[in-house]
Amino acid sequence: MKSAASRGFALGIDIGGTFTKLVALSEDHLVLAEGRLPTEAAKGPASLVERAAEACRDLCAASGLEASSARAVGVGVAGLVDATRGILVACPNLPGWENTAVASAFSAAFGCPAVVENDANAFALGEAVLGAGRGCDPVALVTLGTGVGGGVVAGGRILHGRHGYAGEFGHMALTLDQGPRCACGARGCVEAYLRSSHVVALALELAASSTEPPTPALARALAAGEATARTVGEAARAGDPVGLAVFRQLGQYLGIAIANVISAFNPQVVIAGGGVALAGEVLLTVARSTALARVMEPLAADVAILPAALADRGGVLGAGLLALAHES
Ligand SMILES: [Zn+2]
């Protein structure tokens, strides 16, 4: 048997707003090493590239690997990524990082080829190959977090569109000209309804109008202005009537978004990831029934709607897969 060190491997990096995750992935898709570091986005991309390279060297060394012998490094980052040129073009959640030449910066720091991809596209690839989409084709992903992202993997490859901007499911519109303002500037986008801040706004609205009051813990958090999407999700999981009402409504929005994705791509599976798991079963159950009721019957009969299987590791594993595919 070959040792880990003698096998080919690649590095995957998933840059999030708070943490950056790292993985060393063997060519047969085994995780050889895994870790994370704080992103500290305000220090800028050059600082992160340097710290990530050092963290990868340490991580690899601890597992008997030489980081410098990695075949390639794959990078997933939130925002519009020009995958052909390796440039992060727009990134509302990483202020000041616009127009960063991510691929060349990582390639120089790591001494190997680098490929960069939108983080949700990388997540979709991770789920398609190693997660809930294994054996399915095409695979679509909708992921909930600070924003709402998505991606489609068809024939084992990420669907890029012209530049790599395809799959921005968060900016599909749910209304004509109304609804909450989205970070992109438009109104009524899927993301404007499902983003964390709107979850809290909806909880406040439903708590005021509900005939059943929220449980004391949620009522206190809402009154103190301390509620987050996580707080509301925990309340829903514990059976809080307001928390459940919030996620039933959000499930309808998510369901419409998933119906649109099904009609556009005829996927074999739609995977819902990210904060979907926060609220427990209620969100996905409502989303599934809403989506299946809205698409034409032959499409509905053909599609599974599943939770992500890789949790918050989908993006970094997908980035590692991208790097492995880059040289093969
Ligand atoms: Zn938008």
**Per-residue pLDDT, 305:** 97
**Per-residue pLDDT, 284:** 95
Q: Tell which residue, 326, 299, 324, has the closest CA to residue 140.
A: 299
CA of 145 to the centre of ligand 1 (A): 14
- What sections of 146-279 are H helices per DSSP? 190-194, 196-209, 216-223, 229-237, 241-265
Instruction: Using the CB atoms, write b or e for 240-257: b if 16+ within 10 Å.
Output: bbbbbbbbbbbbbbbbbb
Cα–Cα distance, 90 to 46 (Å, whole number): 17
Cα–Cα distance, 4 to 8 (Å, whole number): 8
pLDDT digits (tens, 9 = 90+) for 150-204: 999 999 999 999 999 999 999 999 998 788 999 888 999 999 999 888 999 999 9
230 forms bridges with which residues in the sheet? none
CA of 3 to the centre of ligand 1 (A): 48
Q: Phi and psi dihedrals of 149, rounded to 5? A: -120, 180
Cα–Cα distance, 153 to 137 (Å, whole number): 7
pLDDT (mean) for 11-26: 95
Q: What is the pTM of this model?
A: 0.93
**Per-residue pLDDT, 326:** 86
pLDDT digits (tens, 9 = 90+) for 107-157: 999 999 999 999 999 999 999 999 999 999 999 999 998 889 999 999 999
CA of 143 to the centre of ligand 1 (A): 14
CA of 168 to the centre of ligand 1 (A): 9
CA of 170 to the centre of ligand 1 (A): 6
Q: Phi and psi dihedrals of 307, rounded to 5? A: -75, 150
Q: Phi-psi category of 218—alpha, beta or left, where left has phi over 0 and alpha has psi -120 to 50?
A: alpha
CA of 173 to the centre of ligand 1 (A): 8
